[in-house]
Amino acid sequence: MNALSDRSSLTRFAWISIAAALVTIALKMTAYSLTGSVGLLSDAIESGVNLVGGVMALFMLRIAARPADEDHSYGHGKAEYFSSGVEGTLILVAAVSIAWAAVGRLITPKPLEQIGAGLAVSILASMVNLAVALLLLRVGRKRNSITLEANAQHLLTDVWTSVGVVVGVTAVAITGWQRLDPIVALAVAANIVWTGVGIVRRSADGLMDAALSPADQAVIRKVLQSHENQGLQFHALRTRQSGARKFVSFHVLVPGDWTARHSHELLELIEDEIRRALPSSYVFTHLEPLDDPASFADQTLDRSDPPPTKPANMATPPAPPAAERKPQASRD
């Protein structure tokens, strides 16, 4: 199975997320209709966001799996960040809706009904979410998909939300204090805001070409350090991530008397070692001589000094052998 078809297979997990959202919405709305709990209503609203997020994930995973083309030479992996960004924004919208409903119930408390049956249905919905969330989280981390990870984290938040709601409704049943239900709902809304902000921030980092994690960069530096005892130097290390793809580029400075073939073979070895140590990485290297001052003028994104058009010590290239020269046109 090639990398593209392997990426396309992730869409089936988005379908699982969509199915789980439909099931949990039905269960949680049933629990709300039985009890009248605004906490359970908030739980159902968040599952609605899960459904929208699952649909968005499905479309973005399909786009991200497309191969590189002339207009997108680095592939379509960044489409996954749009999915997680939209889902994070929807989470924040859900939090506002939950808080709005909770404030109204806090001002005007309402007795809860059929608490036992409602809680049983809510717990069943939570078990569905937990099973799907753990599956998506495992696959998302293994296949390096921020879309599936965001979906899984949202589902896990939904599970903890349900746990809080169950605790709140149970507390109302024990104490008789009706305002506990909306208070728990407000706490749920605050937790959802925290999760939503985290997802949106991570999506923004991906769209802004943020560097790879410190752990990934440490892996790269370890490979480079293993070659420094050969008289090499490295600089201008730049990294970024686009969906599942990790891009790594750096300059390799070698002794000036090395042949191009020997230098190229070494670069191929270093690139291969990084790809093995950091799966799904695409490595770009730039070869420079250690004894040329211009090699140290390009360590930043913008060169500190423009290189000369022609170094003074560069000899004029020799003319090609007579056998390789193109015949001159006749002047007759």
pLDDT tens sequence across 180-202: 777 877 887 787 788 778 878 87
pLDDT at residue 112, as a whole number: 59
Strand order in the sheet with 281-289: 233-242, 245-254, 281-289
Tens of each residue's pLDDT in the chain, 332 residues: 444 446 667 888 889 989 988 898 888 788 777 777 666 676 677 677 778 778 888 888 888 778 777 888 777 777 878 777 877 787 787 778 778 877 877 777 766 555 666 677 778 888 888 999 899 989 888 887 878 887 887 788 778 777 777 777 777 777 777 777 778 778 877 877 887 788 788 788 777 878 888 999 999 999 999 998 888 999 999 998 877 788 999 999 999 889 999 999 999 999 999 999 998 888 999 999 998 888 888 777 776 555 555 444 444 444 444 444 444 444 44
Residue 218 has what pLDDT?
Answer: 94
Rg (CA), the chain: 29
> CB within 8 A of 109, min separation 6: which ones?
178, 179, 181, 182
Residue 261: what pLDDT?
92
Structure tokens at 266: 């070494």
- Please indicate, yes or no, whether the overall pTM of this predicted structure exceeds 0.85: no
Residues 291, 40: Cα–Cα separation, whole Å: 70
DSSP category for residue 212:
P
Per-residue pLDDT, 283: 94
CA gap 237, 234 in Å, rounded: 8
pLDDT value for 323: 45
Q: What is the distance between the alpha carbons of residues 304 and 301, in angstroms, rounded to a whole number?
A: 9
The predicted pLDDT at position 305 comes to 56
Question: What confidence score (pLDDT) does residue 42 get?
Answer: 67
> By the 8 A CB rule, do 291 and 258 touch?
no
Query: Is residue 10 within 8 Å of 107, Cβ to Cβ?
Result: no
pLDDT value, residue 324? 43
Tell me the domains of the chain and their CATH numbers.
Answer: 3-207 (1.20.1510.10), 214-304 (3.30.70.1350)
In this prediction, residue 326 carries a pLDDT of 44
- The pLDDT score that the predictor gives to residue 222 is 93
Contacts 24+ apart (CB under 8 A), 273-277: 273/223, 273/226, 274/219, 274/220, 274/223, 274/248, 277/219, 277/220, 277/222, 277/223
Q: Are 286 and 236 in contact (CB under 8 A)?
A: yes
